[in-house]
Amino acid sequence: MALYLAVSPAAVPVQAADEPFVATVEVFQQVMDNHLSKPSEKQLVQGALEKVSKLAREAKNVSLVYSPEDDTLDELTRRLSEWSAKAKLNDAILNRAAIEGMLSTLEDPHTMFFTKDELKQFQDGVENHLVGFGFRLRFQNGLMLIREMIPNSPAAASELKKGDQLQGVNGISLRDKTAEEAYALLRGEEGTEAVLHVYRPAEKRELQVKLKRAAITVPEVEGQLFSGSKVGYISLETFGSEAAFQFRDKLFQLERQSPPLKGLVVDLRDNSGGYLSTARDIASLFMEEGLLMHTTNRNGVEVQTWVRNGRDIDYPVRILVNEGTASASELLAGALRDHGIAQLIGTKTYGKGSAQQIVPLSDGDALKLTLHEYFTPKRTKVDHLGLAPDIQEEDYAAQAVRALHSLGVDRFRLAAENGDTVVNGIAFPAVEPLFKQDEAGNWLIRRAVLSSLIGETKAGSEEYVAVHPYLQTHPTLQLAIEQESPVLTYQVR
């Protein structure tokens, strides 16, 4: 769900829609004329021919020969016309293969061809109106982890568990796939089925889980106050068309609920982006006026995008980020940091510093085309690099603890509830439990969370450490058992 400019140019069909390879021709000309990388004709033609030739060889055991010197659109369409009869492949399949071959040469996973149905699925995803299985992914250390089940969804009713590693869909490996490519494989029509290939680290075994896709609507914004403080929390799932309104309403509610608000934690982890206009509107809730980003096109022409008619705030902001924070999320986080409004806490972000535009084609198809690269107000490059956090922290719950520490919160209460880690009243999905017991019945806690809580980096190198020794050395650290579950409290001295 990439950032793309909310401007849709009129389609300019280059051939009559009944000609067999109109889609290939349209995509070729749009990419040649507009793509950020300025590809050559030969590059696109050879990519298309290679892909179609490979398809014919694998699907029909037919060898299709072409010249390495073929480098014009006319030569491409002539080859496709000849091959259509020879390989007995229908025009729709040939068009799709030729288009995918052209786009593969760009080395740009964000430029994508959509059929009419695929376009609707993509746009529904940006709006958080999903047809899917009902789980949320976390992208961590190159893995795709199931971090949360959406209630009343197919995933919630299945044998999937938090922490499962999603490795493939219908036999297609997700290894080295981008978030966008993974989501594309997970999407589909309501009622269709897919087999998910999963590895469960806790049991050291692989599973194949068959699930049926269902319609799911998820709020784009959730938020509340951390208990015992005047610090707010807002989680943003996507940058859809309603997200800015939902974010504004939730922020104003928190400001009215606890005047004066002392700080705000904005959670952009695993938010893969959306509309530029939404990012700009949310930024306007934090600054009256200011530069949002610089963009450059294929010819090096620079355009500045500004926030105007916004409002300033008088409290600090912390933004939680991880390697699933991409596109519009990186744009917003980078802008607020450059203006001194926010600090970033977590891990380095995804690194999608490009902007796309939806270009309509014939027959309802569309091309999502990369037109610009964007930079933060201070000209920090994002594309392929990501944003480094101000405070580095790998652990999901520890990121929230460090954010609260940096905002001056001095009382903490940590608990586990339904598999989540609860920090001062707000539940965060946990891949690994907060507490464990050893064979002797002693309580252990995730080392990273304890380190973030007491502000020490010497809590050991193990994933879990015993709580009891730290109760001895930190008098304001207390462990209690409530309803048979441990609760850890801490008072900063």
| pLDDT at site 16 | 42
C-alpha 58 chain-centroid distance: 33
| pLDDT at site 170 | 96
Report pLDDT digits (tens) over 123-177.
Answer: 887 877 778 899 988 877 778 889 888 888 999 999 999 889 999 999 999 988 8
Structural domain ending residue among the three candidates 217, 232, 256? 217
| pLDDT at site 10 | 38
Same domain, 356 and 242: yes
Q: How far apart are CA 66 and CA 69, in angstroms?
A: 8
CA torsion 447→450→451→454, rounded to 10°?
-160
Q: Strand, coil or helix: what is 170? A: coil
In a domain, 400, yes or no: no
- Is residue 197 pLDDT above 60, yes or no? yes
In a domain, 316, yes or no: yes
| pLDDT at site 459 | 55
**Helices marked H in 202-307:** 243-257, 276-283
The distance in angstroms from the start CA to the end CA of the chain is 44
In a domain, 2, yes or no: no
386: CATH: 3.90.226.10
Average pLDDT over residues 479-490: 95
In a domain, 119, yes or no: no
| pLDDT at site 5 | 40
Q: CA angle, corner 56, sides to 53 and 59, nearest 5?
A: 145
In a domain, 1, yes or no: no
When the pLDDT of each residue in the chain is averaged and rounded to a whole number, the result is 92
| pLDDT at site 27 | 98
CA-closest candidate to residue 400, choices 382, 415, 418, 422: 422
Same domain, 413 and 429: yes
Q: How far apart are CA 172 and CA 395, in angstroms?
A: 29
In a domain, 39, yes or no: yes
CA-closest candidate to residue 122, choices 174, 186, 176: 186
Report pLDDT digits (tens) over 232-249.
Answer: 999 999 999 999 999 999
Q: Rounded to two decimals, what is the model's pTM?
A: 0.84
| pLDDT at site 4 | 53
Same domain, 180 and 318: no
- Is residue 15 pLDDT above 80, yes or no? no
Hey, which residues does 9 pair with through a beta bridge?
A: none
Report pLDDT digits (tens) over 283-333.
Answer: 999 999 999 999 999 999 999 999 999 999 999 999 999 999 999 999 999
- Is residue 7 pLDDT above 80, yes or no? no
Same domain, 178 and 225: no
Structural domain ending residue among the three candidates 79, 114, 149? 114
Report pLDDT digits (tens) over 74-84.
Answer: 999 999 999 98
Average pLDDT over residues 16-42: 90
197: CATH: 2.30.42.10
Count of the separate structural domains present in the chain: 4
Average pLDDT over residues 83-103: 92
Hey, which residues does 372 pair with through a beta bridge?
A: 355
Same domain, 415 and 474: yes
| pLDDT at site 6 | 37
Q: How far apart are CA 270 and CA 326, in angstroms?
A: 8
Same domain, 205 and 77: no
In a domain, 404, yes or no: no
- Is residue 18 pLDDT above 80, yes or no? no
Same domain, 469 and 321: no
Average pLDDT over residues 13-38: 84
Query: What b/e string do you get for 212-249 counting C-beta neighbours within 10 Å, with b at 16 or more?
Result: ebbebebebbebebbeebbbbbbbbbbbbbebbebbee
Same domain, 376 and 236: yes
Are the C-beta atoms of 421 and 414 separated by less than 8 Å?
yes
Same domain, 298 and 439: no
In a domain, 50, yes or no: yes
From 182-186, 327-331, 436-440, the region with the lowest mean pLDDT:
182-186
| pLDDT at site 460 | 61
- Is residue 391 pLDDT above 90, yes or no? yes
- Is residue 398 pLDDT above 90, yes or no? yes
| pLDDT at site 457 | 73
Same domain, 233 and 316: yes
Same domain, 255 and 354: yes
| pLDDT at site 162 | 85
Structural domain ending residue among the three candidates 349, 367, 392? 392
Report pLDDT digits (tens) over 252-271.
Answer: 999 999 889 999 999 999 99
What percent of the chain has pLDDT above 90? 76
From 58-62, 99-103, 209-213, 277-281, the region with the lowest mean pLDDT:
58-62
Hey, which residues does 139 pair with through a beta bridge?
A: 144
| pLDDT at site 192 | 96
Report pLDDT digits (tens) over 400-413.
Answer: 999 999 999 999 99
Same domain, 374 and 425: no
What residues make up the domain containing 234? Answer: 221-392
Are the C-beta atoms of 230 and 258 separated by less than 8 Å?
yes
